[in-house]
């Protein structure tokens, strides 16, 4: 890997490389089998990046033609801000790109997109066991102190 990489919006031709990283991200969080994340969800997620009406966006870090990392973010309304809020939903880099500045660059790129959209806040979650990621996150943002609760309601 060279030290020079570029962060850019995902292109439709990027699907094969993006899917490798997407599968790696989902495996990292224990979504390893097809029942945990069906292919239809992956395809739907991918298609959303290319529809102007969708609030879901994707950026990738590229070293030439090689994809190093991805980040997905969503703009949504908030009950406490006039302008939209930005949820950084997914962040993942290949093993070789970790601790090289790629993750930080992807987060900073989301900050720039949020500023351009008039957003006042970017936030995200991580698993409490993801100590490696938290070392970076503690450098680029403040912990909110909130714990997330979730329940599937199917």
Domain 6-140 classification at class level: alpha beta
For 83, other C-beta atoms within 10 Å of its C-beta total 14
How many angstroms separate the CA atoms of 96 and 105, rounded?
15
Q: For residues 127 and 73, is the Cβ–Cβ distance under 8 A? A: no
The pLDDT tens digits for 60-87 are: 999 999 999 999 999 999 999 999 999 9
Where exactly are the structural domains of the chain?
6-140
pTM of the model: 0.91
- Lookup: tokens for 66: 């090689």
How many angstroms separate the CA atoms of 113 and 109, rounded?
6
Q: What is the pLDDT of residue 103?
A: 95
Q: What is the pLDDT of residue 153?
A: 85
For 30, other C-beta atoms within 10 Å of its C-beta total 9
3-state secondary structure of 106: helix
């Amino acid at each position: 890997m060279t030290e020079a990489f570029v962060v850019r919006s995902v292109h439709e031709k990027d699907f094969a490389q993006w899917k490798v990283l997407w599968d790696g991200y989902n495996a990292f969080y224990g979504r390893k089998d097809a029942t945990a994340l069906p292919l239809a969800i992956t395809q739907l997620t991918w298609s959303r990046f290319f529809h102007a009406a969708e609030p879901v966006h994707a950026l990738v870090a590229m070293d030439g033609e090689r994809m190093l990392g991805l980040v997905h973010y969503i703009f949504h309304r908030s009950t406490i801000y006039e302008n939209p809020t930005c949820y950084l939903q997914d962040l993942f880099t290949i093993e070789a790109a970790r601790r090289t500045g790629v993750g930080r660059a992807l987060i900073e790129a989301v900050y720039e997109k949020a500023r351009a959209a008039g957003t006042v806040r970017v936030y995200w979650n991580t698993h409490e066991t993801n100590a490696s990621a938290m070392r970076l996150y503690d450098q680029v943002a403040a912990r909110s102190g909130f714990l997330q609760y979730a329940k599937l309601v199917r």
